[in-house]
Chain A
Amino acid sequence: MNWTPGAHVSLETDSYTIRNLTGADITPGVLDWFKDPEVMAHVPLPMDLDRKYFSRYLKTQDNTKIFILAIVERATGTVVGYYHVGYIPEFQGARTAVIIGERAHWGRNIVVETRSALIDFLFNDVNARKIVGAVNEANAPAVYNYKIQGFQLEGIRRKEGKMRDGTWVDLYQFGLFKREWENQKAEREQ
């Protein structure tokens, strides 16, 4: 992909397009995600976010250090979730987080499929050397998604996460180096 810092992002997988989230994507249906206790169970954001929040949030996106990328179902054009990626060029380190708001897409390997494309983009186009992410200790599906993609558990951030009921929980820190990703892909292709 011929991408330069600051340029629009558009990635394709079999079932999804990953491209910059825009204001036009913030439909009432998307805002409903943030009212759903199950969707928001492990999301460290306030419930009931509104268009004003997203208007401010989307202005932070510069496609150099901050990427906010919609996950769009190719068959329908529906936005089903989005990634937040923070990149620090000085350290070539990227941090990713994802929310899949459309429950109908849970259990379809959506994160594995779309994050694989995102990982390739970050390593090959953005020039990251390492990608990290953190997950709430109780979020078993998210732990699975990191492990199945070869992320290594690097540490436990003690009682740094908070459940909706106010309970403090550990955050598990996962990391993936470029060479680990490349080795994994090479093994799969054998």
Chain B
Amino acid sequence: MSIRGAAFIAGAYEHPERVIPNKSVAQVHAEVAAGALADAGLSFADVDAYYCAGDAPGLGPLSMADYLGLRLAQLDSTDTGGSSYLIHVGHAAAAIQAGKCKVALITLAGLPRQTTARQAAARRVITDLAPETAFETPFGTPVHSLYALCAARHMYEFGTTSEQLAEIRVAAAHHAQYNEHAYLREPVTIADVVNSPLVSDPLHRLDCCVVTDGGGAIVVVAPEVARTLNRTCVKVLGQGEAPKHAENGRLDLVSTGAVWSGPAAFAEAGLTPADIDYASIYDSFTITVLMTLEDLGFCDKGKGGRFVTDGTLQAPHGLLPFNTDGGGLCNNHPANRGGMTKIIEAVRQLRAEANPAVQVPDCGLALVHGTGGTLGTRTGSATLILGRQDA
């Protein structure tokens, strides 16, 4: 059964800070939860479903359910990296539709900029290392190098250039200048991007997202709850999810799981790429965005470089305004998981609450896409399509 219209996003809150030296991870989860519930006009006592991922401390959702004092009929800690929260929205909508719950809280928080000693202590090894580890890690695999392998192959197969990738950073930075909370607010030129130092050929420093502390939360509610709230809600229209891996060691480096999650979401929503007014596209790296736009069908495979040229992604009047908060590239990529902030900016756009300089006029339909894990090895893709309350 389609989840189109089965649930609404009633609350959304992004933590305003980007460097947080004096708080615990659980505390930041609680702060964003409180912010999202206040935004919805609901309380912790109203919550009967909770979703989190690997950034939540403790065993799955149990520790945070305890910390927050939640009584729950649904709980889930599906973890596909940064895309987890899009999947949580889809799963919450299905649970609401099945009558399992009415008010689902989803939180993300982390402190990657704080001392790594705390992070090391938190690492728990009660199982084997992942079965692929021995055949990857010994060869020196920082994440920027794994994404660079995708960019290199994309350039080889399609002639994509560094200047085309740079257009993506230029658009995000253009938007970030209007966001008072963004980690980086300076506009940049294509030359600035391609002249920034190489981190792993062909990716430059400005092809990479920021590292920030913080987080965000959203509240997904049943239609009968949405009707009672004095708050503009956003309708969930469709959601798809798919892992993409090597399929027995024959890895395709130029496509992501969006080739499956996108069509599934569009089919559920009864929409096509041409219908989308605004897109939040996961932007861990510029190449992530470019490959995703192709896979979702905004342009043909291999034509992403051409597509992002000439202001396509720039709000308010580009063909496909994207990441109008500045994205992970410039605003916020908390806990190295960018999916929550992608959802939150789409909610702002549909509520007409984005910064006026970047608000898409008459924004009625939005797409959110998450790319968790790592392109270059294995990734979790998720696509979420949202509309205004009356969609």
Q: Does B associate with A? A: no
